Structure 1
Amino acid sequence: MGSRVLAGRYELLEQIGEGGMAVVYKARCRVLNRYVAIKILKPEFTKDLKLVEKFKKESQAAASLVHPNIVGVYDVGKEGNINYIVMELVEGKILSDMIKENGPFDYKKAIDITQQIARGLSCAHKNHIIHKDVKPHNILLTTDGVAKITDFGIAKFVDNATIVGNTDTVMGSVHYFSPEQARGGYVDEKSDIYSLGIVLYEMITGTVPFDGENPVTVALMHINDEIIPPSKVVNGVPPVLEQIIMKATNKIQVNRFKSADEMADALKNVDLISSIVGEATYLKVGKTEREPEVGRDSAADGEGINKAKKESATDMKKNGKKKVRLNKVKIAAIIIALVCAIPVSGLIYALVSGFVSVKEVEVPDLSGQTVEEATKALEDLGLKIETGDQVYDSTYGEGEIVSQSPEADSKVKEGKTITVNISKGAKEGTIPNLVGKSYEDAVFLIEKYGFKVGSVTTGKSEMPKDVVISQSPEGGEEASPREKINFVVSEGRAEGEVTMPSLIGKDIDTATSDLQKLGLAVGDIGYDMSQAYNKNQVMWQQYGADETVMKGTKVNLKVSTGTEPAGPKSIALDVDFSEAKNLVFFLTVTVSDETGTFNVISREQRLKDDLGEVVSFTGTGQGTVTVIFDNDVVMKKSVNFNTGEIN
């Protein structure tokens, strides 16, 4: 494959890496005349349509991240049965190899690398992307010492050090993932912070804090066992650095750093405190300076680790509190506590060990509600509420909820606490936001904040009658007292009318969903090649955006096939084996379309214990698919081969 050219521009030169699901090649882009890395999904996975779609969507999400500490994703594509991702080619080494060759690191080098990774994670988190698999194997170091994070969910490699959930979703690499990932709990940005803390621990000590005979054993250690402080594994770890590591790897999410930026800023202070209390307290980490010597390759080393575990367990006993050891230089301990904001309360958390199934619920949108209203709504869902900050806000009135964490529509386990920030109203001299308020409420707010009602007009809108649809000046602007505020209220609309959304550029599934939400339906769908639109993107709609149409209207669309001619749409059907009456049975899948009837699978033997499989097939126009176990029909569904819908 070394001489193959993908998409007419990427010339594959040599293989430079391989994982469980993909192979990585060095390639040259003929268009831009630069070297790139191309990750190609292995052929055995290309028949799994769900995996291929996930491969594409998650890599597109990663492509939106532009940061010097993140490996850039340039392009995503498919040629024939080859699915590929084009990435920045990083000349350097993998951090895991460097730790193996040169670990433990000098603490200053470890801090520098960790700060860079934290800045990259911060960029991802601000774009609402959580890595979920931060580990040295996914961190590259250039020859100039720049750390770059790769594999943002693009293709998690499944091996004997990876845990997989019951939906085949890779949860993370077992030596580095967080307790909440091990429990199958709510995962957020702080889960990445935990994993980064483990990476920093390994750079400082040369070993991971937890290891065992199998992944489940290690996962349970993350849930139940206390981490041995780095200073008990190697000599010369700065106390403030140890506190940072222990805070980042706290088993309770809320006790970790609030953000990756906060962790990076805390790491800056290690040398600051060192300069205050003197370098004597902060010896560099070295293989010959460890006391006792703790390694990974000898019986003596094993005894050292066991001894450290016993000492650590002694320090952790009684009411779940950590025994705090004060540094001889008392002023250093005080500064460390202030900088790291390490909690010293005896708060006890009862962690549920093992993989206990807990119901998952969707977080409602609490914006605009009072605390009392939100409390009732959350209690009905088995969730808890906690008030956070009180903030000035021109959009929501005093006492109303401005924002929340976790955000609305996210999935959490029952019992989760939702933190809400409460509005103190608009700051004096700030124009309140009137949009969405009733006419009476708008007048009340204008007068409450010392302004005057200006001209009031009406306009067409989807919003209910007499609701404010715009204002001038806009909410949030600074203005002098008694300034006039003009606003427009909605005339309402005729019953059954809706405004046509813009569908151009959206994929057909999203466009269909947008139409259905408005009470509209997809009409005839045409397919054609396009250089401007990617495959499955809408490139024409029958009614223009913002046109008024009646509910129930069918909207004809034209969809791009990309640079490939239109052809039969491949359908993926999940077949559940749970309805099989026998442990060993014969599976038959029959498809009927406009051209006739044919078998996709004809009496092939299957095992009920295999749980199920995904069956792929193509057809023309409208049709049906029938699934038969032995001689029993267990499923019969209608299929639209034009849209890919199965009903």
Structure 2
Amino acid sequence: MAISRVSDRVGQVLGGRYRLLGPIGTGASATVYLADDVVLRRRVAVKVLHAALADDAAFLKRFQAEAQAAAALNHPHVMGVHDWGQGDVPYLVTELLGGGSLRAMLDLGHHLDPSQVRDVGIEAARGLDYAHRRGFVHRDIKPANLLFDDEGRLRIADFGLARALAEAAWTEPMGAVLGTARYASPEQAQGRPLDGRSDVYSLALVLVEALTGEVPFTADTTLGTLMARVGHPLPIPEQAGPLTAALAAAGNDDPAERPDAGSFATLLMAAGDLGPASPLPLAGTATIDPDAFEPREPTTLFVSERQLRAELDPEIMAAPPGTTTNGLTIVHEGIEVVQPETVRVDRDPPADDEPRSRAERRRRRKEEQRAQKADAEALALAGAGVDDGPPPIGDGAGEPPRRRRRARYVVAALVVLALLGGGSAAAWYSTRPATFVLPSYVGGPVDAALAELAEHDLVVEQRQEFDDVEAEGTVIGQDPGAGVELEEGEAVALVVSRGPPPVAVPPADQIGGKSLQQVTDELAAIGLTVGEVTRTYDENWDYDTVLGLAEGTPAELPRGGAVALTVSDGPFPRTVPAGLVGGTYDAAVAALEAEALVPEKVEQFDDEAAVGTVLSLDPQGGATVERGSSVTVVVSKGPELVTIPSSIVGMTILEASTALQNLGLYVGGIQGSPLSPVTGSDPAVGQAVRKETSVSLTTR
């Protein structure tokens, strides 16, 4: 199967649900895309593996099992897996993190100080400990797999994927063996069975690189890099300071002497007083121009022609979604509807001398209206004067000249009066205020409405209301409605959206005692997010349990606002009591249980210590551990005794000497002929003695 180029997949929809918007990262075995989950309307990250993997049946089988198992991991420091699939290519759908990776951070030249390294290490170790206790070994801990959200909280990515790829015999381009040799543990280099302590070693390498910018044991070749750390402990740089002991323990080349992830987190917490860590210099993820995406389809309001002509009852707007009345249909996304027919209005193009600006056209129209009205009134008055009274009898030819002159004077006077009346009408019309027919401003920006109303000298009265649908600054109502003619100086009332109403913050007693993830989900469901998290030790609540709201949190926040929380960091760390070695086991148990620690008894022989004497502790006295941690107490069983076997009777001196030496005894003398068989011993056969005891053999 040919491997598609990265750009070929942009716009593709995987699983009928995940639309790939653009690449945000690429690696040897996969490309990561920013994607839209078109079902839940959210942005996610989709890791699309190389198309060649689709031909590997062994990989597909392992990939399915590992993806299902990894999706069950639910921890604040493990990247959430939302979905997976294997269409033409296998892919994983994960949460989208905006803080970028530790690799990107280091590539930008940012090194971490010891306090930042401590916090990163603790979060990573806690995530690994959670996964290890559920049977997961990551196998590929490296800076590129340590990601951060926008608030700098760490997530470990790709659990299960490295194992699926390794067991499918997949190789990277150019034949390189899968995995990152720069961060492999000594047991990985030797091909030995792996457990969670292999991830701890890799994490130690990553933390050293975060401090110094360099990875220890890096050679010119992959084989040289792998073998350089076999048999050699991890060198710890001077910059580590108080972290030296913890990093040295995690970098032990012998996995049997290396702490597990939980113990490593405890060692990091106990690493002196480093003070609070400053915020991490997050690199962020690759950005994509939003204009490159097709816009999401909003909820659509279809409006009929009759409503545009102000012939529709406004009460239809209050009808439930899906209602259709008088040509108006209100629908939500996902409902297939048909837009009502519209009317096309063809207009003749303007003449060359016709003004094109609206202001000029309005000025000319007013002048024409005044002139037309004046002419009409003048003609009306003139006609009324000429026709007034009964017509003269006859054609007037025989009328006396005086009467004809009088008639002409009357007509002239009436014409003058008509002209005077027309001038008065024109003067009256010129002083009449201009009018303006209101359009519909509903659904548009209020700034545009204000500008147009001010241009027509209309007074605007604004009222703001919350609205779940329209964005802030959008007109959601007006009075008078569209089509009403107003004169200059008259008032128009606009109702403007203030955006969604504020959201009530859940009270402290409603969220206290729940996990941070649970509270995060509940806040998201009501339109809020988790803001600053303040952590504090608490004897009564486990790690990541929400204790309550941060001080000063308001009762309401704008939709999308951040809620500051106080979260438990677990119980206070415990110190293993000192001075227990040499005492009795009962005294050690009492001291450990007083610190809420769990003693585990291990007995061993000791030639010097009496039975029941404490020989050693693990962890040692003075070590800092979490509450409830197990402490191994090694107790003396006294000297180891050996029973002189009865089987030596009848043996030759040589045979008996060999049998005794195998038991840790030796022959100190022979009573009788050395050529005769053994008949007894001193101490006697069947007696229990200490090792290294001298035994005298008796013969005939």
Pick the TM interval, shorter chain. Answer: 0.3 to 0.5
Higher helix share: 2
Higher strand share: 1
Question: Which structure: larger Rg?
Answer: 2
TM-score, length-normalised on structure 2? 0.36
